[in-house]
Amino acid sequence: MRWSAAGVGGGSVLFAVLALRVWAVFIDPDPWPSDGAMGGPSSAHWLGTDAVGRDLFLRVVESTEAFVGPGLVACAVALLLGTLAGAAVGYVPDHPVSKVLRGVLTLLSAWPRLVLVVVLLAVFLAGVSDPSAWAPARVYVLGALVGLSFVPQVAGVLSERVAHFRRARFVDAARAHGLTDVAILGRHILWANCRQLLLRQACSVFGAFLLVETSLSYLGDYGVPEPRPSWGNILADMRSAVVRSGGIAGDSGWVEAARSGGLLGVVVPSLAIVATIAGALALAEYFAQRDAEA
Amino acid sequence: MRPALAYLARRATGLAAVVGVSSALLGALLLFAPGSPVAEQGLAAWLGGFWRGVFAGDLGPSYRGIPVLDLVGRGAATTLPIVGFALLLSLTGALGIVLGLGDRVAALSRPLRLGLHGLSLVPVFLLGYVALVVFGVPPDGPRRWWAAVFILAVGDGTLSDVILGLDAERRRLVEQDFVHSMRLRGLPLVRRLAPHLALPLAQLLAARLVFLLSGVLVLEMVLGIQGLGLMGYRAAVKADFTLLVAIAVGLTGLVAAVQLGVDALRVAVDPRVRKDSRQTARGSV
C-alpha cells in the first residue's frame, strides 16, 4: 500500500488521538490539585489549571473520551444506513422502495444538518423520563444523530457510483456466471469499487462529528455536560477567565492571559480541534486519491 | 402551457411538497415528546392547525410571550442578511482569486488547496470564539455583525469550496471548442462565458446555503446575535416546539425557494429546458 503525505499526516494525527483516548482510560477522572484556580503552567501542571483548579492538560487528554467513541458511532450509523440506501437507490432505481428512499433522502438533505440534530436531540431529551440519567450516554446519542444527518450525503455519492457500475460489463459477466444481485452488489461493486469512497466518507463524518460535539459542548445544553471534559466546554470555561482588557489582543491581554494560564487553555484545545479535524480530512483526501487511482 | 412554465410549476409543486412533508415529519417526531402540542392534539389536528396558523399569520405565543411568527420574522431579518452577505463575500473573493489568477490557479493548485483547506478547516464556532476572546469583538454593533459575515464567508470550508468549484467550472469551460474558436477570432470572452458560469455558480451557492445556515446558527449562539439560530436553540432548550418547528420549516422553505430560483435560472440560460422541459427535468433530477 502506497502512503501519501496526506495519508501519513492524517493517519498520524488520528493515531495520536487514539493513543490519548487509551491514556484517558487511566486518568483519575476528578483530579483537584491544591495549587488553586487559574494557575500558570508548572512542572506539576503542564498547561496550568482551570477556573476551579483542575489540571488542564489532563482535561485536554480526557476530552478525547467525548468524541472518539461517539464519533465512531456516527461513522457506523452514516455508513450502514447510507450504504443500504445508496446501494438500493443506485442498483434498483425504479423499484418503489428506492423511490421512497429517494424522497426521504431529499427531505433529510433539505434540513440544515445542525437543525436536524438539535431538533432530534430536543425530542429525544423531552421523551426520556430522566434526562440527567442519560447525561453520560447523551454524547453517543448525539453521535447516532450526527451519523443520521450524514446519511443523505453518503447515500448520494454511493448511489451515483453504484448506478455507474450497475451497467458495467463485469457486472453482466458476473450475472452470466450465475452470481446473485446481492453478491454482485456486495462483493463486486461495493467492496471492490466503493470501499475507498466509503472510507473517505467515514473520515469526513468523524471530522464533522468533532465539530458538532465541540460546538454543542461549548454552548452547553446539548453537548458533554460538566464536570466531564470536552475541548468545547474547556474553551467555554476559559472564555470568561480570559476575556479581560478587551480580549487577548487588547491592552496587556496577552500578558494577563499568559500569566493566568488562560492562554494555553484557549490555544491548546483550539489547536487540538483544528488538528484533529485536519487529520480526519487529510485521511479523507488520501482515500479520495486512492479512489481516483483505482 | 409553455414548457418552461410547466417545468417551473412542476418544480415548485415538488419543492412545496418537500416543505409540507418536512412539517409532517417534524410533527411525527414530536409525537415522541411528551408535553408537545402534537402529543396533546394528535398529528393530523396539529398539522392542520399549524398550516392554518401559518397562512393566517398566527401560530400563538412563544415561550417568551411574543407571537411565534413575529419572532421568526425578527430572527430572519437578522440571520438572512448575514447569510446573504457571507455568500456575496465568498463569491467575490472566489471570483477575484479564480479570474484574477486564471490558469495560475491550476499551477498553484496544490499549495492553494492546502492553504485554503487549512483556513477552511477552522470551524465557524472556533473563529467566532477567536473573534470574542482574542480580538474582543463587542457584544453588539456593526463590528460583531461584520465579524459574523466574514467568519461565515471563510469558515467551515465555504471559501475553499466556492473557489475550487468555480475553478473546476472555469477549467471545464475554457477547454470547450467554442471558447478555442472565440480565442482564435480574438472575441471578448467574459461576456459570452458569463451565462455559462451563472448556472453552475448558482448551483454551487445553493448547495452551500444549507451548510451556511448550519454555520450561522452556531455562530449566532457564540456571538450572541439574536437571529434564527439563537432563537431555535433556546426554543429547543425551553421545549417550545411550535417555535422550533416554525424555524425548521422556515429554513426548509428558504432552501426550497433558493432551489426554485436556481431552476428559474436554468430556464433562463439553458435553451434545452425552454424547448423540452420534461426531458431536461428528468435529466436534472
Residues on chain A touching B236 (C-beta within 8 angstroms): 118-119, 121-122, 221-222
Q: Are A263 and A47 in contact (CB under 8 A)?
A: no
- pLDDT per residue of chain B (285 residues) written in tens, 0 to 9: 577 788 888 888 988 888 898 899 888 988 888 878 888 888 999 999 999 999 998 888 888 788 999 999 999 999 999 999 999 998 888 888 777 666 665 566 666 666 766 666 688 888 988 888 777 777 677 888 899 999 999 887 788 788 878 878 888 888 888 888 888 888 777 777 777 888 888 888 888 888 888 888 889 988 888 899 889 888 888 888 889 889 999 998 898 888 888 888 888 877 776 666 554 444 433
pTM (2 d.p.): 0.85
| DSSP class per residue in A39-82 | ----SSSTT-B-TTS-BHHHHHHHGGGGTHHHHHHHHHHHHHHH
CA nearest to A69, candidates A210, A279, A239:
A210
Q: Buried b vs exposed e over B249-284: b needs ≥16 C-beta within 10 Å?
A: bbbbbbbbebbbebbbbbbebbeebbeebeebbeee
Mark yes or no for CB contact A122/B252 under 8 Å: no
Mark yes or no for CB contact A239/B132 under 8 Å: yes
How far is CA B260 from each of CA B16, B83, B265, rounded to the nearest angstrom?
A: 10, 18, 9
Which pLDDT value is given to residue B283?
A: 40
pLDDT (average), residues A170-195: 92
pLDDT (average), residues A167-189: 92
A92 touches chain B (CB under 8 A): no
Chain length of chain B = 285
Q: How confident is the model at residue A159 (pLDDT cuts 50, 70, 90)?
A: very high
DSSP state of B45: H
Which of A110, A214, A247 has the CB atom closest to B252's CB atom?
A110
Which residues 220-249 in chain A show a CB within 8 A of chain B?
221-222, 232, 235, 238-239, 242-243, 245-249
Phi, psi of A293 (to 5 degrees): -75, -30
Question: Where is mean pLDDT largest: A83-87, A262-266, B3-7, B121-125?
Answer: A83-87
- Grouping H, G, I as helix, E, B as strand and the rest as coil, residue A133 is helix
Centroid of chain to Cα B199: 15
B60 touches chain A (CB under 8 A): no
Which has more confidence, B101 or A88?
Answer: A88
Which pLDDT value is given to residue A245?
A: 46
Mark yes or no for CB contact A112/B214 under 8 Å: yes
DSSP state of A225: P
Residues on chain A touching B161 (C-beta within 8 angstroms): none
Which has more confidence, B69 or A135?
Answer: B69
* Minimal-distance CA residue of chain A relative to B35: A126
Mark yes or no for CB contact A270/B221 under 8 Å: no
Which pLDDT value is given to residue B285?
A: 33
CA distance B3 to B277: 5
Which residues 132-171 in chain B show a CB within 8 A of chain A?
132-137, 156
Helices and strands, number each (H, E), in chain A: 13, 0
Mark yes or no for CB contact B18/A112 under 8 Å: no
Q: How far is A285 from chain B (nearest CA, A)?
A: 11
Q: Are B53 and B65 in contact (CB under 8 A)?
A: no
Q: Alpha-carbon torsion B44, B47, B49, B52, what sign?
A: negative
Which residues 112-171 in chain A show a CB within 8 A of chain B?
112-115, 118-124, 126-127
pLDDT (average), residues A166-184: 91
| DSSP class per residue in B141-189 | SHHHHHHHHHHHHHTTTHHHHHHHHHHHHHHHHHTSHHHHHHHHHT--S
How far is CA B100 from each of CA B103, B165, B202, B238, rounded to the nearest angstrom?
A: 9, 15, 20, 49
Q: What is the pLDDT of residues A204-240, one digit of tens each?
A: 999 999 989 998 998 888 888 888 899 998 988 887 7
What's the grid cell of residue B233?
Answer: 436553540
* Minimal-distance CA residue of chain A relative to B32: A127
Which of B21, B122, B133 has the CB atom closest to A266's CB atom?
B133
Phi, psi of A197 (to 5 degrees): -60, -40
pLDDT (average), residues A275-289: 90
B31 touches chain A (CB under 8 A): no
Mark yes or no for CB contact B132/A253 under 8 Å: no
Q: Is the ipTM of this complex over 0.85?
A: no
B34 touches chain A (CB under 8 A): yes
Q: Which of A165-169, A226-230, A263-267, A268-272 has the lowest mean pLDDT?
A: A263-267
Mark yes or no for CB contact B134/A113 under 8 Å: no
Phi, psi of B67 (to 5 degrees): -55, 140
Q: Are B245 and B27 in contact (CB under 8 A)?
A: yes
Rg (CA), chain A: 23
Which residues 213-232 in chain B show a CB within 8 A of chain A?
213-214, 217-218, 221-222, 232
pLDDT (average), residues A244-266: 63
- Grouping H, G, I as helix, E, B as strand and the rest as coil, residue B67 is strand
**Which of B113, B134, B209, B231 to mutate against chain A (most A CBs within 10 Å)?**
B134
* Minimal-distance CA residue of chain A relative to B20: A107
Which has more confidence, A162 or B214?
Answer: A162
